Amino acid sequence: MLPSHAYPKLKKYSHLKGNYGTAWQNQQKEFENIPAPILFTTNCIMPVKENYKDRVFTTSIVSYPEIKHIDENKDFIQIINKAIELGGYQEDKKLTGINGGNTLTVGFGHNTVLKVAPKIIEAIKSGDLKHIFLVGGCDGAKPGRNYYTEFVKHTPKNTLILTLACGKYRFNDLNLGEINGIPRLLDMGQCNDAYSAIKIGVELAKALNCNINDLPLSFILSWYEQKAVCILLTLLYLGIKNIKLGPTLPAFVSPNVLNILVEKFNISTITTPVNDLNEILSK
């Protein structure tokens, strides 16, 4: 699942697809028939099914009962041998994203995005760039999460979308074009990269001499489990307001907690993509 095509040494092998698979909830289905080993380096691992457990390895902070763990010496020979033994697909297979696209553009961590910050600031000032949306967070299997795909599809051409975490797999294969040479969809990475989004917001606010809440930047978040909730709490701690959260509110948000979140942070749940976009862009 890693954006391995962003790494130059892997990129030079044209037979490597780069990205395989989508969000966590599809693991059991997507791993079932691939003739290749799988290494978990971080993030959410689904219960490992019998029919592929001999091909799964973990390292670093991830581990799972009965699954081979690569220790801190990082000797990957077992995985390499497994890859050779399994042999890969006999014939080339066309793999696509959820929307049928087969190109992903990745690698927009804060260092990369901030390198083009002057261009972004110029585009904001000239009106070529009207708004930036951060659409990210966990994905999940329940209905209602298509909101995020539709939201992204409906965003006007003069807006940028920053994305990260599992939710992005719902729309990261869409070709949204560019604004002044900057791709409209900037993939910042996985959930752990929420730091990048925060950093970009803070640096843009500094450069434009305003508060982060005064930027033309909106957070449209999807949550599923505790890490997403930690990220949400971090954003609130930083005083970020007007976050839209979905697909539903976490169960622990009691009416009293919700009142505080609304009163202090103007947080709201998502409604429909068009309604929410109109509301945000009319401000």
Binding site for ligand SF4 (CB under 6 A): 24, 43-44, 138, 165-166, 191, 224-225, 227-228
Judged by beta carbon, residue 131 or residue 140, the one nearer ligand SF4 is: 140
Q: How many CA atoms lie within 13 A of 177 on its CB side?
A: 9
The sign of the torsion formed by the CA atoms of 80, 82, 87, 92 equals negative
Judged by beta carbon, residue 123 or residue 140, the one nearer ligand SF4 is: 140
Smallest distance, ligand SF4 to C-beta of residue 188, A? 12
Smallest distance, ligand SF4 to C-beta of residue 138, A? 3
Smallest distance, ligand SF4 to C-beta of residue 97, A? 16
> Using CB atoms within 10 A of its CB, is residue 130 exposed (0-12), middle (13-18) or buried (19+)?
middle
Smallest distance, ligand SF4 to C-beta of residue 241, A? 23
Report residue 206 as tokens.
């500094």
Per the CB < 8 A criterion, the answer to whether 215 and 204 are in contact is yes
Smallest distance, ligand SF4 to C-beta of residue 160, A? 21
What letter does residue 82 receive in the DSSP assignment? H
Show the DSSP H helices in the chain as ranges: 8-11, 27-32, 77-86, 110-115, 117-126, 146-154, 194-207, 226-237, 255-265, 273-281
Per the CB < 8 A criterion, the answer to whether 95 and 121 are in contact is no
Judged by beta carbon, residue 131 or residue 145, the one nearer ligand SF4 is: 145
Judged by beta carbon, residue 62 or residue 116, the one nearer ligand SF4 is: 62
Per the CB < 8 A criterion, the answer to whether 242 and 270 are in contact is no
Judged by beta carbon, residue 229 or residue 258, the one nearer ligand SF4 is: 229
Smallest distance, ligand SF4 to C-beta of residue 165, A? 3
Per the CB < 8 A criterion, the answer to whether 55 and 38 are in contact is yes
Judged by beta carbon, residue 106 or residue 129, the one nearer ligand SF4 is: 106
Judged by beta carbon, residue 136 or residue 273, the one nearer ligand SF4 is: 136
Smallest distance, ligand SF4 to C-beta of residue 42, A? 8
β-bridge partners, 186: 162
- Alpha carbon distance 201, 212 (integer Å): 6
